[in-house]
C-alpha cells in the first residue's frame, strides 16, 4: 500500500459523504478482528484485553482493539470504520484499568513490530502523518485532504478537527442511516 507521507485521504473517510448519506463500508471488519487476534496470540508482550466494533454506534468512525503490555504503556490499535486504515496509539494513563475505562486518553505512536500483521490488508499511518495539523493554507497538508467531499469540509467547520487523526477516528454525530 502507499507510504504514509504520500497518502491522500479518500472521500468519506470521516464518515460523512454527502448530506443525508453516510459513507459505505469499504472492507470486511473481520480482517481487522483476525489481525488483532494475531497480535494477541503471536506478538510477545501484547495481552489482548478487548475489541469494540461499535456495531450499534453510528457516530464512531473507528473500531479498536486494546492490549495490556508489561513495563510499557498499554496499546490501542484503531481502524477506520469505512476504509482499511490503521493506527497505533499508547495509553497515557499507566494505571488505566481497561474494564473501567475501555478507551482512555492516548497518543499516536509508531510501532514497526506490528506492521507485518497489518501491512497486507491495511494502510498503516504513522505518527507524523496522523498528527499533521489540519491547515487548508498549507499546500502540502491540503493535498492530504484533497479528495474529501465538500460536505465533509462543511462538517469540519463545525467539528473543528485539529489533526488528520481527528478526521479518521472521530465520534461526531452522523446522519441517521
User: In total, how many domains does the chain have?
Assistant: 1
Is residue 42 assigned to a domain? yes
Is residue 135 assigned to a domain? yes
Is residue 19 assigned to a domain? yes
Confidence band of 2 (pLDDT split at 50, 70, 90): very low
Span 108-122, average pLDDT:
96
pTM: 0.91
Is residue 105 assigned to a domain? yes
Per DSSP (E only), the strands in the chain are 16-18, 21-22, 47-52, 62-68, 75-80, 85-91, 106-109, 123-124
143-168 residue pLDDT tens: 899 999 999 999 999 999 999 999 99
Is residue 177 assigned to a domain? no
As a whole number of angstroms, the distance between CA 16 and CA 127 comes to 24
Confidence band of 136 (pLDDT split at 50, 70, 90): confident
33-70 residue pLDDT tens: 999 999 999 899 999 999 999 888 888 999 999 999 99
Is residue 106 assigned to a domain? yes
As a whole number of angstroms, the distance between CA 22 and CA 28 comes to 17
Is residue 171 assigned to a domain? no
Per the structure, the complete domain to which residue 74 belongs is given by 4-166
Is residue 57 assigned to a domain? yes
Q: Which residues contact 51 (CB under 8 A, 6 or more apart)?
A: 33, 36, 63, 64, 65, 66
Amino acid at each position: 500500500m502507499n507510504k504514509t507521507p504520500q497518502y491522500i485521504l479518500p472521500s468519506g473517510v470521516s464518515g460523512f459523504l454527502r448530506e443525508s448519506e453516510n459513507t459505505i463500508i469499504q472492507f470486511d471488519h473481520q480482517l481487522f478482528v483476525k489481525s488483532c487476534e494475531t497480535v494477541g496470540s503471536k506478538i510477545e508482550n501484547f495481552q489482548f484485553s478487548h475489541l469494540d466494533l461499535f456495531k450499534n454506534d453510528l457516530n464512531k468512525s473507528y473500531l479498536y482493539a486494546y492490549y495490556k503490555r508489561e513495563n510499557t504503556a498499554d496499546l490501542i490499535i484503531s481502524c477506520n470504520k469505512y476504509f482499511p486504515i490503521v493506527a497505533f496509539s499508547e495509553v497515557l494513563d499507566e494505571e488505566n484499568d481497561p474494564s473501567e475505562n475501555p478507551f482512555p486518553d492516548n497518543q499516536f505512536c509508531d510501532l514497526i513490530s506490528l506492521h507485518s500483521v497489518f501491512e497486507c490488508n491495511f494502510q498503516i499511518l504513522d505518527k507524523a502523518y496522523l498528527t499533521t495539523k489540519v491547515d487548508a493554507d498549507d499546500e502540502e497538508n491540503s493535498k492530504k485532504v484533497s479528495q474529501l467531499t465538500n460536505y465533509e469540509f462543511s462538517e469540519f467547520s463545525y467539528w473543528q478537527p485539529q489533526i488528520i487523526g481527528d478526521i479518521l477516528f472521530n465520534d461526531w454525530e452522523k446522519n441517521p442511516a
